[in-house]
């Protein structure tokens, strides 16, 4: 058992810079590289991909990134933990194994964590008397059962630790929680009990701080002018100790900043109740954390208190909820806002003439450049040009596509100064609804499989 380990997070979401993880492996010492690819809507996108191709449904960027660093990471003993498996962890595992063979990474062990995907079990669960009511509305899941696209349980650190204990150098999971990608290695390395609530809470806080990648090292930071070296911004590293204390830092010589303010800025992100942050492994009291600057680009976090976990898992369910389309034009010249408003009126009036109408709540009209991002907080202005963004939503796909046909004609049958139509007609795309629910933990069993190259 080691007294201290270095765990970095190089991916805040599917689409984050591929340079984050590549640089983390190459620019300094590291024991673990965590990679967070998933969000609620991501799972439904992956499920749709899998429905078209049984070998799809995972974050292909993960394999592309490994193609650049796998031999180097393997030689240096850097273990990788990722939820890149999405809704098809086995396919992701096969792709990584094939890559490792091509790269000649003999002895590399790739593990997969399964059990979070309950899509095929939904009818069984509902029939057993578990309504999985919507946490926001109280509606039973049966009201959208025929439109469900994906259903995944948020699983935690023990499954990751189990996979590492089985010898995995790379751990691939589905809907592993963001903090568990960091908490899992800490649980494995330090041999904590699942009753060590304070230590588990500390690992949850550590994972939460770095889960969005560079967002705690200067990215998306209010005092952005203080941040230097944006192109070379350092991704965060947790220097974790067996007693539950940890430091947030980054590789020496990289851009960005690690200060108490940048860490607290991220600590407050998506928090909910700060005294009872809920995770699958424990509850964490964020107000108990002592956050202190402990040198340049080095912040110490200690004193975190926690409590037992709930007896339920959170479940992320997505379902088809109609169609939408969004289009835009640039409106320039004097009175740009007034002309843009006229354009919007023309579109919806012409649609009404053809018998196509939308409820006001299902229409969007924005004048980008006139203060819409902070409407009501900044004074209204009339700039020399604005971007007119129009959108609609409806369960009738034909209506939504009909809307898309009336935007480009404004170039010749609307007010002067209309341009920027190169994108063509917007077409109807699926709207994915989000359904949060709870499920008794005794209904979910995770499993681990490890294969060697």
Which sign does the torsion angle of CA 44, 46, 49, 55 carry? Answer: negative
Would you say 312 and 438 are in contact if contact means Cβ atoms under 8 Å apart? yes
Helix (H) / strand (E) containing 342: helix 336-353
Helix (H, G, I), strand (E, B) or coil at 90: helix
From the list 353, 325, 340, 356, the residue with the least C-alpha distance to 423 is 325
Query: Model-level pTM?
Result: 0.93
What pLDDT is attached to residue 71? 97
Angstrom CA distances, 388 to 18, 152, 379, 382, stand at 33, 38, 19, 13
Predicted local confidence at residue 350, as pLDDT = 98
Do residues 189 and 199 lie in contact, with contact meaning Cβ atoms separated by under 8 Å?
Answer: no
- Rounded average pLDDT per 10-residue block, the chain, 453 residues: 94 93 97 93 84 92 97 97 96 98 97 96 96 96 94 97 98 96 98 97 98 96 96 97 98 98 94 93 97 98 97 95 96 95 98 97 95 84 93 98 96 94 88 94 97 96
Domains and CATH numbers, the chain: 4-116+154-310 (no CATH), 320-435 (3.30.70)
What is the distance between the terminal CA atoms of the chain, rounded to a whole angstrom? 26
Composition of the chain by helix, strand, coil, percent to 5: 35, 25, 40
Please give the pLDDT value at position 52: 87
- Taking CA atoms, 425 is separated from 260, 352, 396, 404, in Å, by 48, 19, 17, 5
Between CA 70 and CA 304 the distance in angstroms is 35
Beta sheet of 237-241, edge-to-edge order: 290-293, 299-302, 246-249, 237-241, 4-9, 32-35, 79-82, 170-173, 109-114, 447-452
Q: What is the pLDDT of residue 424?
A: 82
* The pLDDT value given to residue 68: 97
Compute the distance between CA of residue 292 and CA of residue 302 in angstroms, rounded to an integer. 9
- Say how far apart CA 157 and CA 182 lie, in whole Å: 8
């Amino acid at each position: 058992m080691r007294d201290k380990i270095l765990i970095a997070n190089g991916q805040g979401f599917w689409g984050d810079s591929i340079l984050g993880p590549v640089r983390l492996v190459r620019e300094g010492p590291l024991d673990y590289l965590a990679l967070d690819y998933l969000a609620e809507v991501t799972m439904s996108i992956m499920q749709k991909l899998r429905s078209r191709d049984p070998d799809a449904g995972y974050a292909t960027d993960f394999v592309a990134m490994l193609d650049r660093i796998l031999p180097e990471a393997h030689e240096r003993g850097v273990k990788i933990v990722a939820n890149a498996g999405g809704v098809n962890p086995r396919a992701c595992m096969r792709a990584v194994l094939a890559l490792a063979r091509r790269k000649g990474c003999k002895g590399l062990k790739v593990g997969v964590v399964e059990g979070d995907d309950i899509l095929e079990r939904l009818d069984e669960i509902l029939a057993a008397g578990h309504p999985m009511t919507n946490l926001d509305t109280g509606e039973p899941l049966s009201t959208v059962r025929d439109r469900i696209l994906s259903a995944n349980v948020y699983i935690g650190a023990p499954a990751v630790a189990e996979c590492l204990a089985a010898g995995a150098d790379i751990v691939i999971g589905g809907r592993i929680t963001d903090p568990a990608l960091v908490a899992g290695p800490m649980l494995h390395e330090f041999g904590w009990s699942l009753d060590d609530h304070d230590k588990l809470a500390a690992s949850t806080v550590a994972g939460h701080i770095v889960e969005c990648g560079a967002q705690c090292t200067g990215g998306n930071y209010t005092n952005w002018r203080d941040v230097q070296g944006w192109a070379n911004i350092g991704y965060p590293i947790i220097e974790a100790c067996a007693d539950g204390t940890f430091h947030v830092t980054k590789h020496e010589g990289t851009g960005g900043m690690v200060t108490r303010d940048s860490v607290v800025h991220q600590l407050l992100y998506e928090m909910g109740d700060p005294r009872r942050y809920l995770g699958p492994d424990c509850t964490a009291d964020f107000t108990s954390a002592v956050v202190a600057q402990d040198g340049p680009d080095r912040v110490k976090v200690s004193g975190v208190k926690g409590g037992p976990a709930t007896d339920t898992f959170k479940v992320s369910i997505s379902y088809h909820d109609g169609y939408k389309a969004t289009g835009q034009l640039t409106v320039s010249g004097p009175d740009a806002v007034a002309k843009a408003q006229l354009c919007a009126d023309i579109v919806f009036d012409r649609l009404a003439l053809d018998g196509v109408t939308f409820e006001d709540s299902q229409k969007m009209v924005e004048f980008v450049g006139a203060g819409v991002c902070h409407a009501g907080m900044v004074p209204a202005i009339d700039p020399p040009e604005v971007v007119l963004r129009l959108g609609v939503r409806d369960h009738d796909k034909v209506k939504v596509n009909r809307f898309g046909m009336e935007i480009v004609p404004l170039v010749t049958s609307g007010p002067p100064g209309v341009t920027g139509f190169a994108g063509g007609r917007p077409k109807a795309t699926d709207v994915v609804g989000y359904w949060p629910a709870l499920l008794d933990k005794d209904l979910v069993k995770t499993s681990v499989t490890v294969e060697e190259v």
